[in-house]
């Protein structure tokens, strides 16, 4: 675990220990890249969380007090109009476990789709790095895309264009 990742995780884990409240975080974004063995500096925590309602409020206040930027919710798939492929939580990989903290990351193919949701240049870079590192094939991406329950929305068309662009990038 890299120093900046350790910094964030230790703060959260220590807070959970003090409050005697266990939690689970499913990391996405820059922090997750460290666990895919491709660290990149980030200034925030992007994660899906499982914890008690009371502890969630306390953790948010703690993170604000510590000046730690975050985007944390109980449903990362709901951050946009296009949901993540069905079953992403069940496929998530545990990368750290203690009495008060379980850290997970998305299975690499699901991570690629999480990056397409926002679709910035940095997101495409992260996605293509993970694809190369884990030797993800076009067929496996197409198969996972079939698990997305697309809404009848113009955002679906935009997302499919981003997916097509990704497929062209990995040729």
The domain segmentation of the chain, as residue ranges, is 3-107, 110-169
Cα(83)–Cα(113) distance, rounded to whole angstroms? 9
Other CB atoms within a 10 A radius of the CB of residue 82 amount to 21
Whole-number Cα distances in Å, 61 to 45, 46, 74, 75, 134: 14, 16, 16, 19, 37
pLDDT attached to residue 2? 67
Q: Give yes or no for residue 51 having a pLDDT over 70.
A: yes
What 3-state DSSP class applies to 126? Answer: helix
Whole-number Cα distances in Å, 25 to 8, 48, 74, 99, 161: 12, 6, 9, 13, 30
Please answer whether residues 67 and 45 qualify as being in contact, where contact means their C-beta atoms are separated by less than 8 angstroms.
no
pLDDT attached to residue 57? 95
The tens digit of pLDDT for each residue in 65-98 reads: 999 999 999 999 888 899 999 999 999 999 999 9
The tens digit of pLDDT for each residue in 107-130 reads: 999 999 999 998 999 999 999 999
């Amino acid at each position: 675990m890299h120093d900046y990742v350790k910094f964030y995780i230790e703060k959260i884990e220590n807070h959970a220990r003090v409050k005697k409240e266990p939690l689970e975080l499913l990391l996405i974004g820059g922090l997750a890249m460290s666990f895919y063995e491709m660290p990149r500096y980030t200034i925030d925590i992007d994660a899906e969380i499982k914890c008690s309602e009371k502890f969630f409020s306390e953790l948010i206040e703690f993170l604000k007090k510590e000046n730690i930027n975050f985007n944390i919710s109980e449903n990362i798939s709901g951050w946009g109009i296009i949901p993540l492929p069905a079953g992403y939580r069940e496929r998530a990989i545990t990368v750290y476990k203690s009495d008060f903290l379980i850290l997970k990351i998305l299975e690499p193919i699901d991570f690629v789709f999480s990056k397409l949701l926002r679709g910035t240049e940095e997101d495409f870079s992260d996605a293509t790095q993970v694809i190369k590192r884990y030797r993800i094939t076009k067929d496996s991406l197409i198969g996972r895309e079939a698990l997305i329950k697309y809404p009848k929305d113009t955002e679906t068309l935009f997302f499919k264009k981003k997916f097509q662009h990704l497929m062209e990038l990995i040729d």
